[in-house]
Amino acid sequence: MQPKLPVCYFDARTGILCANCEARLRKGEVTGADVEAAKAVAQLSDRIPELGRVTLRRAFEANGSYVLEFEQSDMQALRSNPLLQSELEGALKGKVWLVGAGGNDRRFLEDVFFPAKVLTVNTVWLPDGGKKTKVIVPARRSERRIGDFDKLREAVKQARGIELLVETEREAAAKLYS
């Protein structure tokens, strides 16, 4: 089976865009990140059967890190293969977060932080009218599971426009009781 991608499957396999996909790229309907992610998914779909049945909706890139947005119904299949994310990271040469399309900001953040649990999500309104979203995650080795928080902040801002503050449970408790 072939995955459904933002560009033609043939274009993703060959690395050369057809006239239709090239026009969509120029119009901004697809991005360079969409093309790169589609190439990686198409390439890996031969070796990883789960990728042959997925629908990649969008891809967002920030400083070499990627947020790949798949259909929500594909998330369980993608998470069932523990090597899939590392294979995608190797193909894209950067950190990769897999998220389900649609849904609210909390669901998006839960997908980004998976397998770590999100304990709380709060919106902090700033005096200048801006807002930041504060996420508290468990302290147990969160950095190892999630990866670099700075890369994560950039990727989340690129994907959803969310200004992210990440704290571990211990940091939040220390602030509360100090």
With 70 as the cut, is the pLDDT of residue 1 above it? Answer: yes
Rounded Cα–Cα distance for residues 37 and 32 (Å): 9
Q: What percent of the chain has pLDDT over 70?
A: 91
Residue with tokens 């909390």: 106
Per-residue model confidence as pLDDT tens digits over 107-160: 999 998 888 888 899 988 889 888 889 888 887 654 545 556 788 888 899 888
Contacting residues for 42 by C-beta, under 8 A, at least 6 apart: 2, 3, 5, 9, 12, 13
pTM: 0.86
Domain limits of the chain? Answer: 1-102, 104-178
Burial class (CB in 10 A: 0-12, 13-18, 19+), 160: middle
The string of pLDDT tens digits covering residues 66-103 is 999 999 998 988 888 878 888 999 999 988 999 998 87
- Report whether CATH 3.30.300.20 matches the domain 104-178: yes
